[in-house]
A and B are shown apart, each in its own frame.
Chain A
């Protein structure tokens, strides 16, 4: 299996706090990998290291290697901005740009970089909104504020915004935790469809969700990668006692 993203001996420190400890993990291309584990186990920290979001936090330090198509995203001379264009991210709480219309939110990545071609904008907006199944709901009010949408719609808009800039990998940080079950279902269906084009890494609290949407699952506990493998195997015959305890709801 060819790995789109691999972590080699990757650690994250915040000052003296060792948040992610020497993780080795491969994320296969065009598949969904779920990272599960109890709160504070370092799942989000690991995820945010992949697109270098920790660069803004002065106390954060990332060690080891994170490879995207075989080259280290933290190598000297690599521009984090270039990395983030290839690795998109969807956040826990929907965060559309409040001062922009629905239309502008979809093409925000282009607009903010001044690379938007007017003739292409409408086409990008339509195709991206269709891919996140939002087009029919908003096509008549593209010029209205993104804040008028419901939480689930906002999150799909954020996904549309992410795929609009054509990333190769999409990181999702508990994308459904602020949504109701129906909106969650829609996002899950969307993830299923998106994996045809993208490599998806999704952090989730919700084990059923991991079981439903992912091809492989990694279980983290206290900053360490306890176990990873095909989702089916992790959820039916885990090798580690901790994994089994967590999955069967004995802790976490």
Chain B
């Protein structure tokens, strides 16, 4: 009997520890979220989404150009990064074997671990130096470099989970391997692949460092890909370190919007990953 009581006590203690650990994980998230809502909500207005920053001294203004710039950068980065990441993963799972595949996987893992400021420097020397100027294009390349390894590895994981019997079924019907890879294997993994893509987008949406010396930021509207462009995280950064109270408020509002976007993307990824689709 005594040992049973002891077990109950032990069990209770360990459960308690686990609950504490869970709380320790959740608390910072909740604190960050609550603080940003508290600081951001009061400065958030319609102007934030429609106006560009006002010159110093004038009150009001918004980050419409930053929102637009971020959207454009994400779109461009996706155009570069998604095809490379997804097709690279298809190559790795369907055709790649031996040394080349191993080295691609290894470089993707290393690339994923490279600090994003380094990625920015690479994009700087690849794009900004030859083009002789900061540009949206350079920013997009930097973001794409961050995106590629994430998309590559998640897509590869998802493709590996598609049963090989489907590949055989398709081949046995006289479908060439490349069509089989794209139309059977990739299509069967769509759900997981899209989830991975959404998470990669969420990741680059908040990146600041790689844009510092590529997209650079812009106080005004910019629609040219060869010119510096504003981006939400950059604007938050420069407004937050500026000495004006007004700008700080805008930065808080920007932070709130950015967190909401990332929260939405993560929720979207989860929803998409869970949604019941044909056949699963």
Contact = CB atoms under 8 A, between A and B. Distances in A.
A145 interface: yes
B97, B174, B179, most chain A CB atoms within 10 A = B174
Interface string B83-118: 000000000000001000000000000000000000
B168 A95 contact: yes
A82 interface: yes
Contacts of B187: 99
B97 A89 contact: no
A117 B187 CA distance: 21
Interface stretch (A2-10, A69-77, A157-165, A200-208): A157-165
Contacts of A1: none
Interface stretch (A20-28, A50-58, A119-127, A210-218): A50-58
Interface in B141-163: 163
B79 interface: no
How many interface residues does chain A have, given as a range? Answer: 20 to 34
Contacts of A113: 174-176, 179
Nearest to B182: A112
A194 interface: no
Contacts of B279: 97-100, 145-147
Given A93-B165, A112-B180, A112-B184, A145 B278 contact: yes
A34 interface: no
A91 B277 CA distance: 25
A215 B166 CA distance: 31
Contacts of B167: 56
B56 interface: no
Contact of B170 (A51, A98, A108): A108
Given A95-B165, A97-B184, A99-B188, A112 B171 contact: no
Contact of A84 (B163, B165, B171, B188): B171
A98 B280 contact: yes
Nearest to B173: A109
A91 B174 contact: no
B278 to A, nearest CB: 5
A81 interface: yes
B176 A97 contact: no
Contacts of B188: 97-99
Interface string B266-280: 000000000001111
B7 interface: no
A152 interface: no
Nearest to A92: B165
B175 to A, nearest CB: 4
B183 interface: yes
Nearest to A85: B174
Contacts of A96: 169
A153 to B, nearest CB: 15
Contacts of B24: none
B26 interface: no
Nearest to A58: B97
A109 B278 contact: no
A108 B165 CA distance: 15
B278 A95 contact: no
Nearest to B176: A81
A56 B164 CA distance: 11
B278 A84 contact: no
A85 B174 CA distance: 4
Contacts of A88: 172-173
Nearest to B167: A56
B173 A165 contact: yes
B171 A95 contact: no
A158 B169 contact: yes
Nearest to A158: B169
10 contacts: A56-B177, A58-B97, A81-B176, A85-B174, A91-B168, A91-B172, A99-B277, A109-B175, A112-B183, A165-B174
